[in-house]
């Protein structure tokens, strides 16, 4: 009996229809319109009446500001061809330039895996199989690729010989640089059999391939797999900072092609902090990869497959015109089989029974026949819409579209983004619709900072809600993060961090050492993590204040008393930042300080104490004038170990990101950065991503207050919340989870020490469609540029 049949012994109800689409509480990339469009294709197998995404459905995504140029040629319809070759000299032809995701058995529950493989066979396209080994029914299909991934699940010489190609999976768009983990309880008999792993033991995919730490290592593995299988070898990567170089290297190393998975792509489960902050969108990656391959004479013999948010046939064609040979449908395929985008894959409960836990005797299961037919229809309908669009574009051969940027135009992209994509503006309205520079640079208004989604994550981390206190938040399917879906609020929302792939390995944050400690004023004042508590409301209860002070001591942070009453926490004085006028710090007052305090427009001075030592810090506004003043008076500030730039000061007129970056660069230019710490503080610091990006822009340490209060469920600091051991524990959990989040982002970027490697390392960041003037002042490169 086959593995798939094993799954469905006993009485099960077969699912043969679509469930109604539930209303979405948050902004979604996969809107009702997109889901319905796919359902219509998958039900009928034919084109719909809406070939392009209606204006109202277009998001702030760059690809949504790109349009196909219509220049209809008559009588093309019968001659339109959608056939492409899998790889140069490959005997394999695809009836349409479509590849069906790389979704594993384990991420999907078996029936969908078989439906996808069979549909690919039937429609003569190609399907990936993910790192889950091959079910017998899948192995029996020929139009599949077999994956060689970091854990080697299901890999043997006989499995590698199945299918048309081998895919070396280095990374994926939702979580470049992050490994996978299937808990032992989910490793049931069928999973064990296909993955070739022991039943009941966790199945862990390491973050990097431990035999591939560099480009020549990848070359070694490509050649080795070619020698073993005599098949074309593809390499799958997430779209990250260096994607043009990575693609060029992969081509140079003899691979037949690359699968590039863009930011926002779907996943069975990934840490939210990585999903929301690592990687660049597929349109940037596709265009820059195509450009560099052409420049280096490597494009001809190389297949580029673009994945990640390919939501309509129009998206497929636009990505092809930007440089893809083939586009990959992952989430769209799941929607064809009934996915409702409820983001529940990771908890094993899928209303559409696509991703639920694999056990015998399931109550409900997907109809294999129905789901296969849905996917076949999807491919047919998708292909038909592509043909109709090609007719409008006046192109008869789909493979001729690749790299033809002249078939596209844009509306409302800034000039820099348009340059990187190689696009000209359309006629008529061409003005950039981005937000004015002056507004973007001001500290963000508080009411925009806290979405319920964001607050929910913080509360889960603290254990106020949710089931995993002290752990990073895990979620499934694509992100809806700013700047494209949710509205961007801080400059950080336009910045993404790197995922290390191919040229260097990422680091597993759970099993390998990543140091996140930081130091202020010298090696003596060590913080366990590069953040601290600050800006608690003046009216905060004594008990809550004490909980913060105690957690600062216990978790090795600092606690900036700011305007709160320090008298009640003197027993936790080891880790306090206090105003200089407080008794604790007054002995540090010096002549230099007197001078600074007495000059007009001054900020205050504070002392930071830890483990018996004490240092002196300035507290200053987040503004250009403060920065200029600090820089102009550096010679007189010898008594100070650094400055706290405070975004919440009433006279602050600059976002912390910019203030930190400017001061860091000014200090470096004067050779003074080594002795002067840059500390950022704001109630607008929303969590790990803001901390991490502020450090990369030049901060040593970041202060937060409101996010911690929200996390522990004490949003209103003046209300007496239940303060008992639980609140302390929540705070500790929040710190522990934030530490893990920081390690996740660091590990993904291949950083093993925050203090030496992240601080001021702007090279790790890329901006996404940010105003060029602001980007340059921050000192960050745009996405799509290596």
Partner 1 sequence: MELDNIAFDRRFGLPNVKDGCGVFGMLRKSGSPMIPSSTAINGISCIKYRGSNLGAGYAAFLTDGKETGVSGNAPYRIQAFVAGEGVVEKIQAALEPHVGHVDSLGTRHIEGGASEIAVWEGHLLTQGSNSDAILEKAVDAVNESLFSDGFHGRIFSYGKYLTVYKEVGYPLEVAQMWGIDQKQSNEADMWIAHTRQPTNSPGSLPIWSHPFASMNTAIVHNGDISSYGSNMELLNSWGLKSHVGTDSEVIARLLDHLLRVEGLTIREAATVLTNPFERNLSAEVKNLLYKYRGARLDGPFAVVAGYADGTDTYLVALTDRSKFRPLLAGEDDHYFYLASEENQIRIQSPKAKIWTPEPGSFFIASLKQGLIEAGTDRDRGLQTSALNQSLSAPQTPALRKMDASAMGFKEINREISAAYSRSEEGVLIENCKGQRYLGIGFSTRAGTGRGRFKIQLTGFPGNCLANLNDGASFEVYGNVADDLADTMHAGSVVVHGSARDVTGQALQGGHIYIRGTVGNRAAIQMREYEGEPPFLIVGETADDYLGEYMAGGVVMVLNLSDSHKPARNYIGTGMVGGRIYIRGNVSEDQIGLLPQREDVLHYLYSQTLDGVVSKDAYQKIASADYPSVQLISNYLPREVVMRVLTLFFATKYTKPVLVERRRLDDKDMKVVGDRLRDFFGCFGLSDDLLAKVLGSTFTIIRPREEKVEGNVPPQETPIEE
CB of 255 to partner 1, least distance (A): 13
Query: CA-to-CA distance for 460 and 151, rounded, in angstroms?
Result: 30
Instruction: List the one residue from 264, 266, 470, 642 that touches partner 1 (CB under 8 A).
Output: 470
Q: Is 294 in the site for partner 1 (CB under 8 A)?
A: no
* Minimum CB distance to partner 1 smaller for 651 or for 786: 786
Q: How many of the chain's residues bind partner 1 (CB under 8 A)?
A: 133
CB 284 within 8 A of CB 244: no
3-class DSSP state for residue 16? coil
Show the binding pattern over residues 89-108: x = contacts partner 1 (CB under 8 A), - = does not. Answer: ---------------x-xx-
* Minimum CB distance to partner 1 smaller for 580 or for 780: 780
3-class DSSP state for residue 465? coil
Cis peptide before 483 (omega within 30 of 0): yes
- Select from 385-393, 399-407, 517-525, 629-637 the region that touches partner 1 (CB under 8 A): 517-525
Query: CA-to-CA distance for 323 and 754, rounded, in angstroms?
Result: 36
Instruction: List the one residue from 223, 392, 588, 597 that touches partner 1 (CB under 8 A).
Output: 223
Helices within 346-495 (DSSP H only): 368-393, 415-421, 437-441, 446-449, 452-462
Q: Is 426 in the site for partner 1 (CB under 8 A)?
A: no
Contacts of 438 (CB under 8 A, 6+ apart): none
As a residue count, the chain comes to 786
Q: Is 272 in the site for partner 1 (CB under 8 A)?
A: no
Segment 374 to 393, residues that bind partner 1, using CB under 8 A? none
Q: Is 515 in the site for partner 1 (CB under 8 A)?
A: yes
- Select from 29-37, 70-78, 284-292, 679-687 the region that touches partner 1 (CB under 8 A): 284-292
CB of 726 to partner 1, least distance (A): 12
Contacts of 71 (CB under 8 A, 6+ apart): 393, 394
Beta-bridge partners for 409: 67
- Select from 288-296, 374-382, 648-656, 685-693 the region that touches partner 1 (CB under 8 A): 288-296
Segment 574 to 603, residues that bind partner 1, using CB under 8 A? 574
- The DSSP output letter for 32 is H
Q: Is 405 in the site for partner 1 (CB under 8 A)?
A: no
* Minimum CB distance to partner 1 smaller for 71 or for 210: 210
Instruction: List the one residue from 348, 394, 425, 426 that touches partner 1 (CB under 8 A).
Output: 348
Query: CA-to-CA distance for 498 and 502, rounded, in angstroms?
Result: 12
- Select from 35-43, 261-269, 324-332, 450-458 the region that touches partner 1 (CB under 8 A): 261-269
CB of 389 to partner 1, least distance (A): 29
Helices (H) then strands (E): counts for the chain: 25, 31
Beta-bridge partners for 533: 559, 704
Helices within 579-680 (DSSP H only): 591-598, 624-632, 656-669
Q: Is 785 in the site for partner 1 (CB under 8 A)?
A: yes
Segment 749 to 778, residues that bind partner 1, using CB under 8 A? 749-753, 755-764, 772, 776
Segment 9 to 68, residues that bind partner 1, using CB under 8 A? none
CB of 58 to partner 1, least distance (A): 27
CB 710 within 8 A of CB 532: no
Segment 114 to 173, residues that bind partner 1, using CB under 8 A? 130-132, 151-152, 155-158, 160
* Minimum CB distance to partner 1 smaller for 68 or for 243: 243
* Minimum CB distance to partner 1 smaller for 528 or for 582: 528
CB 235 within 8 A of CB 222: yes
Q: Is 517 in the site for partner 1 (CB under 8 A)?
A: yes
Segment 626 to 685, residues that bind partner 1, using CB under 8 A? 667-671, 673-674
Segment 541 to 570, residues that bind partner 1, using CB under 8 A? 550-551, 553-556
Q: Is 267 in the site for partner 1 (CB under 8 A)?
A: yes
| Burial (0-12, 13-18, 19+ Cβ within 10 Å), 718 | exposed
- The DSSP output letter for 505 is -
CB of 597 to partner 1, least distance (A): 28
CB 678 within 8 A of CB 645: yes
Contacts of 553 (CB under 8 A, 6+ apart): 559, 572, 574, 575
Instruction: List the one residue from 86, 144, 215, 389 that touches partner 1 (CB under 8 A).
Output: 215
Q: What are the structure tokens assigned to 673, written together?
A: 């950065």
CA 300 to chain centre: 31
Segment 679 to 718, residues that bind partner 1, using CB under 8 A? none
Show the binding pattern over residues 193-212: x = contacts partner 1 (CB under 8 A), - = does not. Answer: ---xxx--xxxx-x---xx-
Question: Cβ atoms within 10 A of the Cβ of 258, count?
Answer: 26
CB of 179 to partner 1, least distance (A): 9
Half-sphere exposure in the Cβ direction for 476 (13 Å, CA) = 21
Segment 486 to 505, residues that bind partner 1, using CB under 8 A? 500, 502-505
* Minimum CB distance to partner 1 smaller for 68 or for 746: 746
3-class DSSP state for residue 92? coil
Query: CA-to-CA distance for 515 and 677, rounded, in angstroms?
Result: 19
* Minimum CB distance to partner 1 smaller for 106 or for 262: 106
């Amino acid at each position: 009996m086959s593995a798939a049949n094993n799954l469905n012994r006993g009485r099960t109800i077969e699912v043969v229809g679509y469930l109604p689409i539930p209303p979405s509480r948050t902004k979604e990339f996969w809107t009702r319109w997109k889901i319905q469009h796919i359902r219509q294709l998958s039900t009928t197998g034919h084109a719909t009446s809406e070939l392009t995404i209606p204006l109202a459905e277009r998001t702030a995504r760059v690809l949504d500001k790109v349009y196909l140029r219509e220049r209809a040629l008559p009588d093309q319809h019968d001659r339109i061809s959608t056939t492409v070759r899998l790889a140069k000299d490959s005997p394999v032809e695809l009836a349409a330039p479509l590849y069906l995701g790389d979704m594993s058995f384990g991420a999907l529950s078996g029936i969908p895996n078989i439906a996808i493989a069979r549909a690919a066979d039937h429609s003569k396209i190609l399907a990936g199989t993910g790192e889950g080994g091959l079910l017998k029914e899948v192995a029996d299909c020929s139009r599949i690729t077999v994956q060689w991934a970091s854990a080697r699940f299901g890999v043997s010489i006989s499995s590698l010989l199945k299918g048309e190609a081998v895919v070396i999976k280095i990374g994926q768009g939702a979580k470049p640089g992050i490994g996978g983990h299937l808990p032992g309880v989910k490793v049931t008999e069928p999973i064990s059999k296909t993955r070739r792993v022991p039943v009941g033991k966790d199945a862990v995919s390491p973050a990097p391939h431990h035999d591939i730490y560099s480009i020549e290592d990848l070359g070694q593995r490509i050649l080795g797999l070619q020698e073993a299988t005599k098949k074309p070898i593809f390499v799958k990567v997430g779209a990250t900072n260096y994607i043009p170089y990575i693609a060029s290297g992969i081509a140079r190393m003899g691979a037949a092609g690359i699968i590039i998975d863009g930011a926002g792509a779907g996943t069975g489960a990934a840490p939210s902090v990585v999903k929301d902050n690592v990687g660049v969108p597929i349109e940037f990656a596709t265009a820059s990869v195509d450009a560099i391959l052409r420049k280096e004479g490597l494009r001809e013999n190389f297949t580029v497959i673009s994945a990640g948010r390919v939501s309509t046939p129009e998206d497929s064609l636009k990505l092809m015109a930007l440089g893809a040979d083939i586009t990959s449908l992952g989430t769209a395929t799941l929607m064809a089989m009934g996915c409702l985008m409820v983001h529940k894959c990771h908890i094993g409960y899928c209303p559409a029974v696509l991703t639920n836990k694999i056990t015998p005797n399931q109550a409900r299961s997907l109809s294999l026949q129905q789901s296969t037919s849905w996917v076949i229809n999807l491919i047919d309908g998708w292909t038909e819409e592509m043909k109709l669009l090609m007719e409008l574009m006046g192109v008869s051969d789909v493979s001729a579209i690749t790299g033809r940027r002249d078939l596209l135009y844009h509306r409302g992209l800034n000039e820099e983004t348009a340059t990187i994509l190689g696009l000209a503006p359309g006629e008529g309205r061409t003005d950039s619709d981005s937000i004015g520079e002056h507004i973007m640079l001001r500290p963000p208004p508080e009411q925009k900072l806290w979405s319920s989604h964001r607050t929910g994550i913080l509360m889960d981390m603290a254990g106020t809600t949710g089931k995993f206190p002290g752990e990073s938040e895990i979620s499934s399917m694509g992100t809806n993060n700013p700047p494209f879906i949710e509205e961007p609020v801080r400059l950080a929302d336009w910045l993404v961090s790197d995922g290390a792939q191919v040229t260097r390995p990422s680091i597993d944050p759970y099993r390998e050492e990543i140091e996140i400690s930081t130091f202020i004023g010298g090696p003596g004042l060590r913080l366990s993590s590069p953040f601290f508590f600050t800006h608690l409301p003046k009216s905060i209860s004594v008990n809550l204040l004490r909980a913060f002070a105690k957690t600062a001591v216990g978790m090795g942070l600092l606690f900036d008393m700011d305007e709160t009453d320090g008298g009640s926490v003197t027993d936790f004085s080891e880790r306090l930042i206090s105003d200089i006028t407080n008794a604790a710090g007054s002995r540090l007052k010096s002549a230099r300080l007197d001078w600074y305090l007495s000059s007009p427009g001054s900020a205050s001075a504070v002392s930071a104490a830890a483990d018996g030592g004490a240092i002196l810090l300035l507290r200053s506004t987040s503004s250009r004038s403060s920065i200029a003043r600090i820089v102009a008076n550096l010679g007189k500030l010898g008594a100070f170990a650094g400055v706290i730039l405070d975004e919440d000061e009433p006279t602050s007129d600059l976002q912390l990101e910019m203030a930190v970056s400017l001061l860091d660069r000014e200090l470096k230019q004067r050779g003074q950065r080594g002795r002067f710490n840059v500390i950022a503080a704001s109630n607008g610091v929303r969590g790990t991503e803001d901390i991490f990006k502020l450090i990369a822009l030049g901060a040593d340490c970041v202060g937060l207050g409101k996010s911690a209060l929200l996390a522990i469920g004490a949003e209103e600091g003046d209300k007496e919340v239940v303060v008992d051991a639980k609140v302390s524990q929540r705070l500790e959990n929040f710190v522990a989870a934030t530490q893990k989040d920081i390690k996740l982002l660091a590990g993904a970027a291949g950083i093993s020490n925050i203090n030496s490697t992240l601080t001021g390392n702007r090279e790790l960041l890329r901006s996404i469609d940010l105003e060029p003037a602001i980007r340059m002042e921050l000192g960050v490169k745009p996405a799509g540029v290596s």
